[in-house]
Structure 1
Amino acid sequence: MKWNLRLAAANRGIWKASELQRMLAERGVVFSVGKMSGLWSGNPASFKGTDLDALCAVLDCGLADIMVAEPEAFPVPERDTARPAATGDADSPTTVTPRRRDGRSLPPE
Structure 2
Amino acid sequence: MKRTVGYTWRLREVMAVQRVFTATELVQLLHERGINLSASQVHRLVSGTPERLSLQVLSALCDILACTPADLVVTSAENAGVRRTGTADTTAQPPVVAKLRPRPARILAEE
Compute the TM-score of the two structures, normalised by the length of structure 2. 0.63
Deviation at 1:77, TM superposition (A): 4.3
Distance 2:51 2:43 in 1: 12
Secondary structure of the corresponding residue to residue 69 of structure 1: strand
Whose strand proportion is higher, 1 or 2? 2
Aligned AA for 1:32? S
Aligned AA for 2:66? D
- Alignment partner of 1:68 is 2:88: no
Paired-residue identity, %: 33
Q: Greater CA radius of gyration, 1 or 2?
A: 2
Q: Where in structure 1 are there 5+ consecutive unaligned residues?
A: 79-92, 95-109
Aligned partner of 1:42 among 29, 38, 48: 48
Distance 1:76 1:68 in 2: 19
Highest relative contact order (Cα 8 Å, sep 6+), 1 or 2?
Answer: 2
Q: Where in structure 2 are there 5+ consecutive unaligned residues?
A: 1-6, 89-111
Contact 2:9 2:73 in 1 (8 A): yes
Compute the TM-score of the two structures, normalised by the length of structure 1. 0.64
RMSD: 2.2
Aligned partner of 1:20 among 1, 17, 26: 26
Partner of 1:4: 10
Partner of 1:31: 37
